[in-house]
Amino acid sequence: MSVKLGVPSKGRLMEKTFDWFRERGIVLGRAGSDREYAGRVEGIDGVELVLLSAGEIPRELTEGRIHLGVTGTDLIREKLAGWDLRVEELAELGFGHADLVMAVPGCWVDVDTLDDLDAAASAFRERHGFRMRIATKYHRLVRDFLRDHGVADYQLVDSQGATEGVVKNETAEAIADITSTGETLRANHLKILSDGLILKSQATLFRSRRVEMSDADRAVLKDLTARLRVD
């Protein structure tokens, strides 16, 4: 057995994760070609690198198939109910910053707060005969947030990408999406509600609380977290 570390398999998130580990003396990399998803680890024995889609890492952690995993806080909280019983946050890695926010068209000059959104949703339903549509891929986080704030008369519609465009296409009236600079929102004539911050997310190293470990694994994990200075 070995301690399995799950890391996003593509793009900037992977590169930055590799950098973060390298700064702490652990070298991660792809085993063979750029297209191969097997990984290699130098600088410590008994650790295996598993390259995965960032969206699958929460599930792999909660199923106990990997011991450690790097992914966004947003994905952990969206996908895992009772997330803090399933995983432990070891370290925020300082990149991959993104905020999950509620945004509405800039032309809705009457809507600046959730209170306004709720009132607008009520009037919208009366006029159009259906609930105001909010496009998102973060169904659970958005629903919990809106319920906690007492917003009613809305419905969530699924949007897995290019969410900023749905309002113009009239498939939704508002959105809840990840943004880092707000640039794409502005370009699509959307504005963030002043109390519409649902979650601040960044790339984070998580430890599974649900994984079975041998004594040898435990020793490796202890050594690794000490070297990463996250113990």
Q: Contact residues for another protein (CB under 8 A)?
A: 81-82, 105-110, 112-113, 115-116, 118-120, 122-124, 127-128, 131-132, 139-140, 143-144, 146-156, 167-168, 170, 173, 189, 194
What is the closest distance, in whole angstroms, from the C-beta atom of residue 208 to another protein in the complex?
Answer: 17
Q: Quickly list H helices, 4-112.
A: 11-22, 57-62, 73-79, 83-86
What is the closest distance, in whole angstroms, from the C-beta atom of residue 161 to another protein in the complex?
Answer: 19
Strand partners, 27: 42
Q: Rounded to an integer, what distance in angstroms lies between the CA atom of residue 162 and that of residue 188?
A: 10
What is the closest distance, in whole angstroms, from the C-beta atom of residue 149 to another protein in the complex?
Answer: 7
- Name the residue nearer to another protein (CB basis): 88 or 112: 112
What is the closest distance, in whole angstroms, from the C-beta atom of residue 113 to another protein in the complex?
Answer: 6
- Name the residue nearer to another protein (CB basis): 45 or 195: 195
- Name the residue nearer to another protein (CB basis): 4 or 86: 86
What is the closest distance, in whole angstroms, from the C-beta atom of residue 121 to another protein in the complex?
Answer: 10
- Name the residue nearer to another protein (CB basis): 89 or 112: 112
Torsion angles phi and psi, residue 38, rounded to 5: -85, 150
- DSSP, collapsed to helix, strand or coil, labels residue 213 as coil
Tokens of 10: 């593509």
H or E segment and range at residue 216: helix 215-227
| Strands 132-136 and 203-208, sheet pairing | unpaired
- DSSP, collapsed to helix, strand or coil, labels residue 214 as coil
- Name the residue nearer to another protein (CB basis): 189 or 200: 189
